[in-house]
Amino acid sequence: MYPIFRFAAELLRVRRMPPCGLLDAHVSHHICLPFDIDPWRELNNGRTLTLYDLGRVPFALRCGLAAALRKSGWGMTVAGVSVRYRRRIRAFDRFTTVTRCLGWDARFIYLEQSMWRRGECTNQMLLRSAITDGKGIVAPARLLEAMDHPTESPALPGWAAAWIAAETGRPWPPEAGRFL
């Protein structure tokens, strides 16, 4: 089940925070609750992705991205994600999430999110997001113009650029479809 009450609490909390820039980091603090864990008593990998929403949406509100989307009638969707898990988060552990925009290209915006417990990174995610309207994908440059933000992206880190290149070569639809 989606953590709607935690999401609502984050939305209330972000209203008291100062605005941030599109390339700034948004930091949020959380607790791993019993319904976040899997049978091994640690944060469930699927729930990790859901809890990253609790950082991404407030970031979008603080930097003006959400307002520009709303004003233009656009939406935003996850178009790809890669997560690296390295340390466990267990029930009742406190952790911090850091969300930041790395940059964009002609089709997508790239965000990095990470979870930290006691100063150590537990997992990190690279997310590709698309701005959409009724006709399909909207170029990020149009969103940036709506935000009065420069349209030229900062250089993406090499590891992110390598992931983007790897995704370009990945077959779609997946070859597994031949087994159906």
Supply the pLDDT for residue 110: 98
Cα–Cα distances (Å) from 18 to 15, 23, 52, 129, 158, in that order, read 8, 15, 20, 24, 31
- Asked if pLDDT for residue 1 goes beyond 80, the answer is no
Query: How confident is the model over 130-139, as a mean pLDDT?
Result: 96
Contact 52, 7 (CB under 8 A): no
CB atoms inside a 10 Å sphere around CB 26: 22
Q: What is the pLDDT of residue 7?
A: 93
Task: Give the distance from CA 61 to its chain's centroid.
Answer: 13
Q: For position 86, what pLDDT does the model report?
A: 97
For residue 151, pLDDT over 90 is answered with yes
CA distance 22 to 60: 8
Closest CA to 147 of 104, 112, 113: 104
- Distance from C-alpha of 106 to C-alpha of 88, rounded to nearest angstrom: 36
The rounded mean pLDDT for the chain is 96
Q: How far apart are CA 63 and CA 26, in angstroms?
A: 9
User: Is a pLDDT exceeding 90 seen at residue 179?
Assistant: no
d(CA 59, CA 28): 9
Report residue 93: phi and psi, to 5°.
Answer: -70, 140
Grade residue 127 by pLDDT with cuts at 50, 70 and 90.
very high
d(CA 141, CA 139): 5
Query: In the structure encoding, which two tokens stand for residue 45, read together?
Result: 């990998």
pLDDT digits (tens, 9 = 90+) for 38-72: 999 999 999 999 999 999 999 999 999 999 999 99
User: Would you say domain 4-168 falls under CATH 3.10.129.10?
Assistant: yes
Q: CA 72, CA 148: separation in Å to the nearest integer?
A: 13
For residue 180, the model assigns a pLDDT of 86
Mean pLDDT of 2-14: 93
- pLDDT-derived band of residue 178, with 50, 70 and 90 as boundaries? confident
Helices (H) and strands (E) in the chain, counts: 5, 6
- Tens digit of each residue's pLDDT (9 = 90 or more) over 64-101: 999 999 999 999 999 999 999 999 999 999 999 999 99
* Domain locations along the chain: 4-168
pLDDT of residue 147: 96
Q: What is the mean pLDDT of residues 137-152?
A: 96
Comparing CA positions, the residue from 130, 146, 147 lying closest to residue 23 is 147
